[in-house]
Structure 1
Amino acid sequence: MRGARRWLWLLALLPAWPVLAADLAPLRIDEPQAWGHTVGDVLQRRVHLAPGQQLAPEALPKPARVDTWFELREVRLQGRGSAQQLLLDYQLINAPQKVSTLALPALRVPLATPEQAMLDLPEWPVSAGPITAEVVLSRAGLQALQPDIEPRAPLRRPVVLRLILWGALALAAAAVLLLRRHPEWAWWRRHAPFRDAWRDLRRLSSDQAAPEACQRLHRAFDQAAGGALFGPGLADWLAQRPGLAPLAPQIEGFFAGTQRGFFEAGAALPPAAEVLALCRRLAQAEGRGA
């Protein structure tokens, strides 16, 4: 009779055997490194659930501060079916003053079973150290209290800046005066036909002075007029340039003399000295903006 009762009890427990076996299965936990931690480090515990063990998401612990040293930042489940994992992320939120042994707290999580079995996680010891040493060695200038920095000599920047400014103004004024006296030195005056002609005429030899000088000065007049300039158009060209009015008689005499010298038999060209003098005066007037 008693043997029959035992067999009946065993038959009654058969449906619950997988659950009991899951509850009694050894717990596998991947623990974080147990040493060398400091404030700010995140330590993760990965719990591998045994086949048949299920966790209810609503029963999982909520992120919160768990003690003086650790805060539970995130709790999540990974995997499905029989390969489910529970991940617990803890962050070290305080720094000990010296190397100390701390512990990730123990945890009980209810399983999703009718028997309301519990999943027990033991605490896990870890060591943590301070961010900096508590005492600084008093050698090689590493004293905790440093001496005051010697003040530097004040810079006399305002005086130096004023000197530079006045020097620049003086140079600019000198440059303006020199350019007014010697306008041919102005490199930006690209279109200066009479200045260029004067530079060329000074290099002519005496035996070719008169013909070459007359031709070179005529080319300068053509460049200044923007085209060929002859005697009939000279009056209109001079009227557009009042700055050349004092030189108008000499310019008209030059055009008349070259007209006779080049096109009338036996007529002589203007002397080279007069051509050079006229070209020099034209270059000076050109530099004044005439």
Structure 2
Amino acid sequence: MMRGAVLLALLLMPMPANAADAVAAKNPAFQVQAQMRDTGYVLGDRLEQRIDIRVPPGTRLIAESLPRLGRVNNWLELRELRVEPRRGGYTLQLGYQMFGAVESAMQLAVPPFTLRFDQAAHTPTPTTVTIAAQPFYQSPVLPASLGDADRVPRATLPPVRIAGTRWPLAALASLIASLLLALYLAWAYDRLPWSPGKPGPLTLLLRDLRSRRALAPDAATYRALLRQLHAALNRSAGQTLYLDNLPLLFAQAPHLQPLQAEFDSLFQHSRRVFYGAAGDADGNGDWPTSRVLDLCRRARDCERGLS
């Protein structure tokens, strides 16, 4: 009860009216203002302190006088320090980490430190400004009524046992799923040396074109490519196709329906190649070799159900 009454009295003690009141400095030309929350801290908390310093014109902060990062005392460590020059002065942002614990509410203080400023235009010796200690209250983490047995460190808990059988099974299942997916993709894109089922005419066409490393850029090779594509389409439709009866292809092979406009354009171009002007026979018109090969690949994908 006595400790509880002391804790309540400490928490109800009147605090400074403004934590940002000016901190006294030896030189009145330097105005120092420190801001820091002064209550609500426990073990492990960070203390954020902001210090605004107004200096005379032409004054420079000597960096060597800034506090060093690291242990300040046995319960406080400076973790962060940022210096922000501004018009007419400097702003210091300091971040402290607390490591000490208390058994009851206690008033502590961030230690003071001294800064040095160079005023070469006014005085040859540096001017010192002392940042006063900043008091704050730290609260206990554990209740005050602890017995001797509660203060003895407890043994570390043994590690939790993890079942080791399910992970190999999961890895095996993932491997099997990956192999099945790889086999499906290899089949879908006709990359297997042997393919289950009978491949379609457009798949066979792509195999033949893929076996030839490159097509010669001449009119005879271009015409041969068009003849091969027409032959594959004829086998897909089950009869010879012309521009006039092209809809029969999509009736027999509805999977090629998304490419109807492309095939219609290709058949018109093919008629000009074989029966029209010679200028379209070398693959340099609207249907170059690359576009014909791309249409062959897209038709193969439709034939194998990939689109």
Q: TM-score, normalised by structure 1?
A: 0.38
Q: Which has the higher strand share?
A: 2
When normalised by structure 2's length, the TM-score is 0.36
Structure of greater Rg: 1
